[in-house]
């Protein structure tokens, strides 16, 4: 049971990597990259988890309650922002590639350029 969360992170990473390697479409490739990045959220949050602990929001729990680590949650927030920006930039590059080469298939783009 305790290894499950880490296993999910590793699985997401490898599945996303498989998608990137076999991708035939640049937009699909960007989505696969976000799957890879999602594995880092799972890993970060799994590391910070403490069994039986509550979320570190003291609005409605006792101040002495055991809470999960707030640092990894903050890092995950940074991670999400970085992912969104990476996806936005890559998608605009995909738009430009499609305008220039008329295709979104990475193999064909390579073939056209030689």
Partner 1 sequence: MVVFGCGAAGFAALLAWGLAGLPSFGHFDGAYGQLLAHITVPERKATSVIAVTTFDFRGFDTLGEEFILFTAAVGVLVLLRLQRGEEQVPADPQTPREPVAESLSLRSVATALVGPVLVLGIYVVAHGALTPGGGFQGGVVLMSSFLLVYLAGSHLRLGGSRPITAMEVAEATGAAGFVLIGLGGLVLAGTFMENFIPAGTRGSLLSGGDVPLFNIAVGLEVMGALLVVLGELLDQRLLTRKESD
Which residues are near partner 1 by CB under 8 A? 1-6, 9-10, 13-14, 17-18, 21-22, 46-52, 55-59, 63, 67-74, 77-78, 80-82, 84-86, 88-89, 91-93, 95-96, 99
Residue 100 Cβ vs partner 1, minimum distance, rounded to whole Å: 8
Q: What b-and-e string marks burial along 12-44, b requiring 16 or more CB atoms within 10 Å of the CB?
A: bbeebeebbeebeebebbbbbbebbbbbbbbbb
Sequence-separated (6 or more) residues with CB below 8 Å from residue 73: 45, 48, 56
The residue (of 20 and 105) whose beta carbon lies closer to partner 1 is: 20
Residue 78 Cβ vs partner 1, minimum distance, rounded to whole Å: 5
Residue 105 Cβ vs partner 1, minimum distance, rounded to whole Å: 17
Q: What is the CB neighbour count within 10 angstroms for residue 87?
A: 15
The residue (of 4 and 113) whose beta carbon lies closer to partner 1 is: 4
């Amino acid at each position: 049971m305790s290894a499950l969360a880490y296993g999910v992170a590793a699985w997401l990473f490898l599945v996303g990597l498989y998608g990137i390697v076999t991708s035939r479409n640049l937009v699909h490739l960007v989505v696969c990259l976000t799957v890879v990045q999602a594995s880092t959220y799972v890993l970060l949050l799994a590391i910070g988890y403490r069994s039986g602990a509550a979320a570190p929001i003291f609005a409605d729990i006792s101040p002495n309650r055991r809470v999960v680590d707030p640092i990894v949650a903050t890092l995950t927030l940074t991670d999400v922002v970085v992912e969104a920006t990476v996806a936005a930039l890559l998608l605009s590059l995909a738009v430009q590639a499609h305008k220039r080469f008329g295709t979104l298939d990475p193999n064909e783009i390579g073939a056209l350029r030689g």
